[in-house]
A and B are shown apart, each in its own frame.
Chain A
Amino acid sequence: MSHSYQAVGWNRQKKIYDLVILIGVFLYIGIFMGIGSTLFPNATAETLMIRAFGTGAFVLLHIILLIGPLSRRFPSLFPLLYNRRHLGVTMFLMALVHGAFSIIQFHAFGDLNPIISVFVSNGEYNSLTQFPFQALGFLALMILFVMAATSHDFWLANLTAPVWKALHMLVYVAYALICIHVVLGVFQSGVSSVYHAMLGVGFAMIVGSHIIAGLQEKEKDKELNSDKNEEGYIKVCKVSEIPEKCAHIATLTGERVAVFNFDGKIAALSNVCQHQNGPLGEGKIVDGYVTCPWHGFQYRPEDGASPEPFTEKVPTFKVKVIDDVVWVHPTPNPPGTHQEPVVVEKK
């Protein structure tokens, strides 16, 4: 997990995942340039390359942004989520090729520094149709660079999770900048209406899937305060409503709690993984450990601690089961505190 800071902790799944990414990138670029040079013999190789890498990176960015909300709806997509950062770094490298070739082509070999030229050659910042769209693309590329450079767990640990998370939420700013870069750039140069339609569909999918996921999260966050017993425990759900080795997520006094049912026992942990704030309650118990669906970080259900040598810990909660109903005390125990799971009859 986060101790040795290997460049990539390779396993068979990651190797297959990265191989598919690599072959996919080569196929996309190869077909775009190969078919392009056949269909359009007058097109220059630089132009085809700029467009191949630009469109490829933009399509990949859409996929990356869709994986999160879609995997909440369709858990079978979790394997895509596990190594999303590999997709992100690949997308940045494709965007970098697009940006570098564009800057060399349109801004180098003149009387200005190419980077300065990006911002000042076309100074019509007060015009919508003539706006210097390259500046927006450059800013987006800088954001993607910072994200790719800090994608490793080393930075997550050193920047702290909240800072790291906030930094990586900038991907939405980058996406907005790129959309405007496309609309005020190539769309102003008479491209096929198919591209307009594709961007419209892509944008609608990103916005729509995030709104739906947000509404679902809001539903989960409905406070359970109505049924509170004299000891302060709050009624959560029936044992039978929690699938074996899975969890029921409830929001108690502002904090999401994951109540797990495993091997005839019930245990409650904070829903927030210490790695990237992933939703532990959407994961499963694997080999006796609560396993985060995002990147596989594991915690013992009894005390919320990661197995040695790892040191991550999440808070546990007191649980009672009365007449097949699970009650959880909303006050969290300090992270790593042993809380004996409640034994129930195994179904």
Chain B
Amino acid sequence: MKWVSVLLLILISSFSFLMISNEKEFDNSTFEFGEYCTYEGIIMENPYPRILIERPGDTGSLPKYSQYYLTQFGKFGGGEMVKGLDGKKVSLEGALIYRDDQTMIEIKNNSVNHDHTSENERVFNFDSALPKKSLGIHTLKGEIVDSKCFYGVMNPGNLKVHKACAINCIRGGMPPVFVVKDQQGNIGYYLLQDEEGGAVNKNILDKIAEPLEIKGEVVKQGNILILKANPTSYRNI
């Protein structure tokens, strides 16, 4: 009995090792859960809430502002927390989420502060600070993900196992991002907008986490690439 038990436990251990050692590599992405920092910047409410934070000193070839998508706890975008603050200067506390050069902040509850001084009430001119540049019409193949999970809150944050979660997140206002992988595994991130530059969340719920082809105009705004196309033209491949 004793040796049979020991043999069984050795078998269980070996099997557990066999299972975990055959997992595929997990991508490098980070969520600094609970590590709140204070950020100051300009709110861009539409089409997806972002905060623009001025880079210090001479930025050289880099855009003058770095952009962070905003989200709140759970499967919701940060829209409700910064409502009415478009173009206004705020300070907020949040935890950082990042993957490659893509960044997002999960805002801590009740931490958004807007100082109603005359200087802070001045509405920001986005077009001059972050000019948009069209890169032409492109046809891209990839997958729609919710930016929060894919950038670091979940790993993996894409493909079939994550599909339902991505649908919940995008329905809740999370910025939808089209991820395009090249043959070397490098990822291109394209923020999805409709042809007029509006949010597409409600119109793409049946296309999330599926292999897709999207033809549209690629626009560069600061460090963010935007893919503008009518959601009805998204094609399953």
Binding site for B on A (CB under 8 A): 16, 20, 23-24, 27-29, 31-32, 35-36, 39-40, 42-44, 46-47, 51-52, 55-56, 59, 105-112, 117-118, 121-124, 129-130, 132-134, 184-186, 188-192, 194-195
Chain A facing B: main interface SS:
helix
Interface string of B184-213 (1 = CB under 8 A from A): 000000000000000000000010001000
B8: nearest residue on chain A (CB-CB)? A20
Contact partner of B163 among A28, A31, A110, A130, CB < 8 A?
Answer: A130
Contact pattern, B 13-41, Cβ under 8 Å of A = 1, otherwise 0: 10111111111111111000000000000
Contact B22 A195 (CB under 8 A): yes
Do A194 and B22 touch (CB < 8 A)? yes
Contacts of B13 in A (CB 8 A): 27-28, 31
* Most chain A beta-carbon contacts within 10 A, residue among B76, B161, B172: B161
A228 to chain B, nearest CB (A): 47
What is the interface of chain B, defined by CB distance below 8 A to chain A? 1, 5, 8-9, 12-13, 15-29, 73-76, 154-156, 159-165, 167-169, 171-172, 206, 210
The 7 lowest CB-CB distance pairs between A and B, nearest first, are A109-B74, A110-B75, A188-B160, A106-B165, A189-B159, A110-B168, A42-B26
Query: B21 is contacted by which of A16, A35, A46 (Cβ under 8 Å)?
Result: A35
Task: Kindly name the residue among A32, A55, A118, A186 whose own CB sees the greatest number of chain B CB atoms within 10 A.
Answer: A32
Complex contacts, A20 vs chain B, CB 8 Å? 5, 8-9
- Shortest Cβ distance from B204 into chain A, in angstroms? 13
With contacts A20-B8, A192-B24, A195-B22 taken as known, whether A27 is within 8 angstroms of B16 at the C-beta atoms is: yes
Q: Considering only CB atoms, which chain B residue lies closest to A50 in the complex?
A: B161
Query: What residues of A have a CB within 8 angstroms of the CB of B73 in the complex?
Result: 109
Q: Which residues of A lie under 8 Å from residue B23 when comparing CB positions?
A: 36, 39-40, 43, 51, 191-192
Can you give 7 A-B contacts (C-beta < 8 A)? Answer: A27-B16, A40-B25, A110-B75, A110-B168, A111-B171, A117-B164, A118-B164
| Chain A min CB distance to B135 (Å) | 30
The docked-state distance in angstroms from the alpha carbon of A112 to that of B8 is 44
Contact B9–A105 (Cβ < 8 Å): no
Chain B hits for A123, CB < 8 A = 206
Contact A42 B27 (CB under 8 A): yes
Give Cα distance in the complex from A127 to B25, angstroms: 28
Residues of A within 8 A of B28 (CB): 42
Residue of B nearest to A55 (CB): B19
Of listed A47, A52, A186, residue having the most chain B CB within 10 A: A47
In the complex, chain B residues whose CB is within 8 Å of the CB of A31? 13, 16-17, 20
Tell me if A110 and B25 are in contact (CB < 8 A): no
| Interchain CB contact under 8 A, A42 and B164 | no
